[in-house]
Amino acid sequence: MKILITGANGLLGYKLVQLLSRQSGIETIATGRRMISDLPANVSFRELDITDHEQTENLICELKPDVIINSAAMTQVDQCEMEHDLCWKANVTGVENLIDACSKNQTHLVHISTDFIFDGTVGPLDETAIPNPVNFYGESKYAAEKALQQSTISWTILRTVLVYGVTPDMSRSNIVLWVKKNLEDGKSINVVNDQWRTPTLAEDLAMGCFLAASKKATGIYNISGEEMMTPYDIAIQTADFFKLNKSLIKPTDSSTFKQPAMRPLKTGFIITKAKHELGYHPHSFKEGLALMASQL
């Protein structure tokens, strides 16, 4: 099976490259807008900007992958709120370009979506929950989902939540790394305790992508951790695990943060479908922290 990864420079893309490179019978092609250093010897790289329709179509028609895993996206929520055109181009136009290319090559598309397509009034959510985004990032990701659902190609949508993990160059921060660094520097941090999520280890999300790709599973699947936690809970557990001073962590609520984009208060996912149909089994949050620690 030939699998092409978009956005291979990101956290998920990196974990996918590492995971797929260890699988027998998989030819992996990593793509991105800039060259990736230290690729495994059995993984090739091609430059690709999915917002460029011609480049996307030409490359997919040349390579004819069996599956594309689309991990390319603009995910900075506040930046998306302030730069609508850039966000839409990355998160919607790019997906439409992939759909067009897949339709010409009978390629299955695995697309990554988000809990931010929901309004945060209830949670945890299963795959039948009705989207109602409260920010532009969520709107763009929901629009991409609808584009896939209205297409004629073979597709999987994997929705995920608050991804954390480590890359060798530490270029991608996330809540765990942010908490760890600030506490190590002796800085006091304010962390919200009125938002609920099911945080997702990047390795688990990569495995979910691989399981969906290998089965060419069709439909929507929730891929996340299982534990409902607030960012404050996450910060406290991170401090405890790394033996840092948790008295520096101050609980607060969302109303004290002035951010351009609203955040849904309560999301989190029920992952029963992915467990039963894909064989997906995530790490616990503590196991995720231990895996991160082994990579730092």
Three-class SS of residue 43?
Answer: strand
Domains identified in the chain, total number: 1
Burial class (CB in 10 A: 0-12, 13-18, 19+), 292: buried
194 part of a folded domain: no
Widest CA span in the chain? 57
Instruction: State how far the Cα of 119 lies from the Cα of 217, in Å rounded to an integer.
Output: 27
30 part of a folded domain: yes
- pLDDT per residue, tens digit, the chain (296 aa), is 999 999 999 999 999 999 999 999 999 999 999 888 889 999 999 999 999 999 999 999 999 999 999 999 999 999 999 999 999 999 999 999 999 999 999 999 999 999 999 999 999 999 999 999 999 999 999 999 999 999 999 999 999 999 999 988 766 689 999 999 999 999 999 999 999 999 999 999 999 999 999 999 999 999 999 999 999 999 999 999 999 999 999 999 999 888 999 999 999 999 999 999 999 999 999 999 999 999 99
Tokens representing 204 are 């688990």
Contacts of 169 (CB under 8 A, 6+ apart): none
pTM over 0.75: yes
Q: Partners of 113 in the beta sheet?
A: 159
89 part of a folded domain: yes
Phi, psi values for residue 197, rounded to 5°: -140, 170
Which residue segment(s) compose the domain that 17 sits in?
A: 2-167+199-227+268-286
In tens, the pLDDT along 122-147 reads 999 999 999 999 999 999 999 999 99
- Specify whether the CB–CB gap between 20 and 26 falls below 8 A: yes
188 part of a folded domain: no
In tens, the pLDDT along 236-254 reads 999 999 999 999 999 999 9
Of 127, 103, 104, the C-alpha closest to 117 is 127
- Specify whether the CB–CB gap between 28 and 63 falls below 8 A: no
238 part of a folded domain: no
244 part of a folded domain: no
Provide the 8-state DSSP code for 35: -
Instruction: State how far the Cα of 214 lies from the Cα of 211, in Å rounded to an integer.
Output: 5
- Which parts of 71-222 are beta strand (E)? 108-114, 155-160, 163-164, 189-192, 200-201, 219-222
**CATH code for the domain of 61:** 3.40.50.720
192 part of a folded domain: no
Q: How distant, in Å, are the alpha carbons of 28, 111, 163, 229 from that of 136?
A: 33, 18, 19, 24
13 part of a folded domain: yes
